[in-house]
């Protein structure tokens, strides 16, 4: 049986939320790792050029995770535009990935 556009969007949103959750956790962990590297450098566990390399690579890794999160944020906007262009009534979706959504307020005109 073919899925409806609403079912496809619901699955997309569910998976997007999973990606967001894991990227946020990975970013926070990478920042903690960078702080741990700084602590190790302070007590001489890594020194000189090796310390600078180790430290900068950990900071860069956190930045790479943030860059990936930014790509997914852009994809969220693009996906929403495609859903609307295909007639998906995003306001009528009552659940996403088995999670009930609160009702959306009706928008008043200006």
Taking only the tens place, the pLDDT of each residue in 29-66 is 999 999 999 999 999 999 999 999 999 999 999 999 99
Residue 85 in tokens: 């262009």
User: pTM of the predicted model, to two decimals?
Assistant: 0.76
Reduced to 3 states (helix: H, G, I; strand: E, B; else coil), residue 94 is: coil
Nearest to 13 by CA among 92, 65, 79, 94: 79
What digits encode the pLDDT tens for the residues 77-89? 899 899 999 999 8
């Amino acid at each position: 049986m073919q899925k409806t556009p609403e079912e496809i969007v619901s699955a997309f949103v569910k998976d997007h939320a999973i990606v967001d959750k894991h990227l946020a956790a990975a970013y926070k962990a990478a920042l903690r790792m960078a702080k741990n590297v700084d602590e190790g450098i302070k007590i001489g566990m890594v020194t000189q050029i090796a310390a600078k390399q180790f430290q900068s690579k950990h900071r860069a890794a956190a930045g790479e995770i943030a860059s990936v999160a930014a790509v997914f944020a852009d994809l969220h906007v693009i996906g929403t535009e495609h859903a609307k262009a295909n007639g998906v009534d995003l306001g009528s979706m009552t659940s996403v990935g088995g999670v009930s959504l609160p009702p959306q307020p009706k928008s008043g005109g200006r």
